[in-house]
Structure 1
Amino acid sequence: MAQSIPRKQRFDQNQVAEQEHRHHDTHQHDHDHDHDHSDVHAHDHDHGHSHAHGIGHHHHGPNNRRGLTIALGITSSILILEFVGGLLTNSLTLLSDSGHMLSDAASLALSLVAMWFAAKPAAPNKTYGYYRFEILAALFNGATLFLIAGFIIWEAYHRFLNPPVVSSGSMMLIASIGLLANLASAWVLVRKSDVKSNINVRSAYLHVLGDALGSVGAILAGLIMLLFKWYIADPIISVLVALLILRSAWGVIIQAVHILMEGTPITINSEAVKQSLLVIEGVRDVHDLHIWTITSGLDSLTCHLLVAEDADDQTILQQAVDLLEREYKIKHATIQVETSRLQHGDMKV
C-alpha cells in the first residue's frame, strides 16, 4: 500500500515575524490552531501561519476610547437636562429622548468596558483573548435600542387617545440644547473614533444619532404645537423617531449575530478568495476554506491547498499569504499545503 511520509515544515519568515510581534506588541496574543487530520486518506502536509502584526491596536486604540469618553460626558449631562425638562413640560418626546439618552450613556460606557476587556492578553482557555466582548456589547446596544423604541411606541399609543397639553416653548429650548449636544457627541466620535469599521463604536454612534433624531423630533413637535395647538403631534413624531431608531438597531443586531455565528465577513466573497488562490501556479485545489471575523477589523482564514507534486510548497505558501493580505486585508491566516501522490493508478490525497 502506498504510504505518504508526513512532513511538518514551518513557514520561517512568518514565525520570525510572529516572535518579533510578541516581543514588541504591548498586548500578547496566543493563537492556537488545532487541526484534526485523522483522515482515511494519506497526506503530505506543510503548515503555514500568517499572523497579523500589531492587531492589538487595530480597533480599540486610544482614539476610540477618547472619543467614547467625551461623548459619554456630553450625553450624561444632556440626559439629566432632558429628563427634568420632560417632567416640567409634560412632553413625551423629551421624556422618551431622555430615556434613549440613558440607554446611550449605558451603551457608551459598555463600549468603553468592552475595549478594556478586548485589550486584555489572551489566556490558554481564550486563545483569541476577549475580542468578542466588543461584538457582545454591540449586540446588547442594538437590543436596548429595540426596547427603547418599543417603550416610546407604547407611551405614544396612550397619548393618541388623550393628548396632554405640552409646554411647547420650553420643550423646544431644551430639545435644541440636546440636539447641539448630540451633534457634538457625534462629531467627536467621527473625528476621534473608528465609526466606519468598528461595530462596537458604530453601535454607540447610532445611539447618539438616534438621540439627535429625537431632539429634532421634539423641536418639530414643539413648533407644531406652538403654532397650531395640535398636541397630538407629540406622540406622532415620537413614533416616527422610534421607527428610525428600530431601523438602525436592526442593522447592528444583524451584523453582530452574523459575526457571532462566524459567518463570512460581509466585505469578503469566499468564492472569490478561492478562485484567487487557484490562480497561483501549482495550486490544484482549495478546500476546507473558512473565513470569519473575530472582531471588527480582524478577519481570520483557514484553508487547505492541494498542490502539484513537483511544486515548491514554501513559494506557494508565501504567494498565498501575500495575496490574502494584499487583496482581502486578511492578516491572520492558517494555510495547510497538501501534496498529492499518484501511485498504481490511485491518488492518495
Structure 2
Amino acid sequence: MGRYSGRSSRLILMCVVSLVLFAVEISVAYVGNSLSLASDAFAVLSHLISMIIGLFGVRFSRIRWHKSNTFGFSRADVVGAFGNSVFATALMFSIFVEAIKRFINPQKTEKALLVLIVGIAGLFFNVFNYVIFMDCCYCRAPQGDAETGDSPNDQKSPEEGPEKKKEKKSEALNIRGVLLHVMGDALGSVVVVVAATIFHILPLGNAPCNWQCYIDPSLTIIMVFIILSSAFPLIKETSIILLQMVPKGVNMQLLTDRLARVSGVSSLHEVHVWELAGGKNIATLHIKCQTPTDYQDAAYKIRKVFHEAGIHSVTIQPEYIDHKTSQLLCSSPCISKACDSQLCCSQQEPPLAKTNGYTEKNDSCLSALHKDNGSSKNDTEIPIEYPLAEDSIKNVKNCGMSGD
C-alpha cells in the first residue's frame, strides 16, 4: 500500500497533472492573448493549491486526539474547505475585473488554433481529474458520528429499533472544496474551447475588433458567476461550523421543550449545541435534580432526546438543588468572584434562553405569573427577553419570602 494510499495518492496524481496543465496553459495564454485561457490557467493553479490543502486536510483529519488538541484535527477538512472556497472567490473576483477591462479595451485572440488545442487538452485533463476525484474521494462515505464517541456521563445506550432514524453521513467539506475547483477548471476549459473555436472558424485577420472580441470576456464572466454560485454556499456552511452555530436541522426551541419535560429534571440551563465537523454534532448542558438517583434516570432520557435529534456526543453536568440559591442560578460557580465573568453561566445575572439556553420547569411562581395565559404547573417556561428573566427572579424571591 505504501505511505500514501486511497484518496491521498489520487490527490497527489491530480496535483501533478494540474501542475503540468497550468504551465502549458499560462504559456499559450500569453502567446495567444486569450483571457479565457489565462483565467483557466489561474483556475487550475487555485485547483492545485486547493488539492495541496485538501491533501494535508485529509491526513490531519485522521488524527483523533493530540495533546495540544483534545478534539483531534476533525476540523482540518472544514478549515481546508473554507480556505478553498474563499480563495476561489478571490480568484473569480480578479478574473471578473480582467474581463471588465477586456470589455473596455477589446482585443483579438491570436493563434486561435493553438489556443483551441490547449483548451481541448485542458478539458480532457479536467474530465480525467474529475473522474479520478469522484471515484476515490467524493463518493466514499465517511464514517460519520460513530467516531466522535459519547460523553463519560453516558450511562446507558438507547435501544436500537426499527423506528430509529437513519443517522446522516457527514460530508467531507474539504473534498467538496476541491470538487468546486475541479468543476471550475472544467467549466473554464469549455469557455476556452468555445471562444477559440469562434476565432478559428471566423478569423478576424487584420480587421478591427467586432462582436467576436466580446465573446471571450462574456463567457469568462458567465464562468465567474457559475463558480461563485457554488462557492458562496460552501463558505456559509463552513462558517456556521467554525462559528459553532446550531447545526442545520436542529430546532433548539423544540429540543429545549423536550428536555424540560424529562422527569427528574427540576431545571436546565447552558444548553449548547454545535457541530465539530461535518455531521458530528456535540451538546453540553447543565441540569438541576433533586437527588443523584433522579440524575441517573434523567441522564438516559436526555441522551435519548439528543439522539433522536441527531446529536450523539452529549456531556451532562448535574447540579443538585440547594435551597440557599435560586433554581435560576448555576450551582457550580468559580472559586473566586474575580473569574465570574469567564464562567459559562455567570452568577451576576440569570441565564437567558436567548444566549445560553436557559429553561426553568415546574416552578410554582412562574406558573402563577402566567396563570392568566392559561399556563399550568407542568408547562415549560423559556424566558426570551431579559426583563422576563428578571421578573422570574423577583417572583422566585417573593415566593421564598412568603414561605418564610
Same fold (TM > 0.5): yes
Q: Which runs of 5+ in 1 are unaligned?
A: 1-60
Residue from 3, 14, 28 that aligns with 1:71: 14
Distance 1:324 1:257 in 2: 23
Q: Secondary structure at the match of 1:290?
A: strand
| Aligned position for 2:194 | 220
Q: CA deviation at 1:334?
A: 0.6
Residue from 278, 293, 313 that aligns with 2:295: 313
Q: CA deviation at 1:122?
A: 3.2
| Aligned position for 2:106 | 162
| Aligned position for 1:297 | 279
Q: CA deviation at 1:302?
A: 0.7
Map 1:30-41 to 2 at 5 A: none
TM-aligned CA distance change 1:155 to 1:312, over 3 Å: same
For the pair shown, the structure with the greater C-alpha radius of gyration is: 2
Residue from 281, 304, 318 that aligns with 1:337: 318
Distance 2:8 2:63 in 1: 15
Distance 2:176 2:9 in 1: 15
Residue from 30, 34, 57 that aligns with 1:114: 57
| Aligned position for 2:82 | 139
What does the per-residue CA deviation read over 1:28-87, in whole Å, with 9 as the maximum and x for residues that have no partner? xxxxxxxxxxxxxxxxxxxxxxxxxxxxxxxxx965434533433332333233223323
Contact 1:324 1:330 survives alignment (8 Å): yes
Q: CA deviation at 1:145?
A: 0.9
| Aligned position for 1:184 | 128
Q: Secondary structure at the match of 2:72?
A: coil
Distance 2:265 2:5 in 1: 42
TM-aligned CA distance change 1:276 to 1:169, over 3 Å: farther
TM-aligned CA distance change 1:131 to 1:306, over 3 Å: same
| Aligned position for 2:363 | none
| Aligned position for 1:231 | 213
The one-letter code of the counterpart of 1:113 is F
Distance 1:338 1:187 in 2: 55
Q: Secondary structure at the match of 2:118?
A: helix
- 1:173 matched to 2:117? The reply is yes
Distance 1:67 1:330 in 2: 33
Distance 1:231 1:342 in 2: 82
Residue from 45, 48, 55 that aligns with 1:102: 45
Q: Secondary structure at the match of 2:213?
A: coil
- 1:328 matched to 2:309? The reply is yes
Distance 1:193 1:271 in 2: 37
Distance 1:138 1:347 in 2: 43
What TM-score does the superposition give when structure 2 sets the normalisation length? 0.62
Distance 2:309 2:14 in 1: 33
| Aligned position for 1:148 | 91
Q: CA deviation at 1:324?
A: 2.6
TM-aligned CA distance change 1:147 to 1:347, over 3 Å: closer
Q: Which runs of 5+ in 2 are unaligned?
A: 140-169, 204-211, 330-404
Q: CA deviation at 1:339?
A: 4.5
Distance 1:348 1:170 in 2: 75
TM-aligned CA distance change 1:269 to 1:79, over 3 Å: farther
| Aligned position for 2:337 | none
| Aligned position for 1:43 | none
Contact 2:245 2:274 survives alignment (8 Å): yes
* Number of corresponding residues: 287
The one-letter code of the counterpart of 1:336 is Q
Percent identity for Structure 1 against Structure 2: 24
| Aligned position for 1:199 | 173
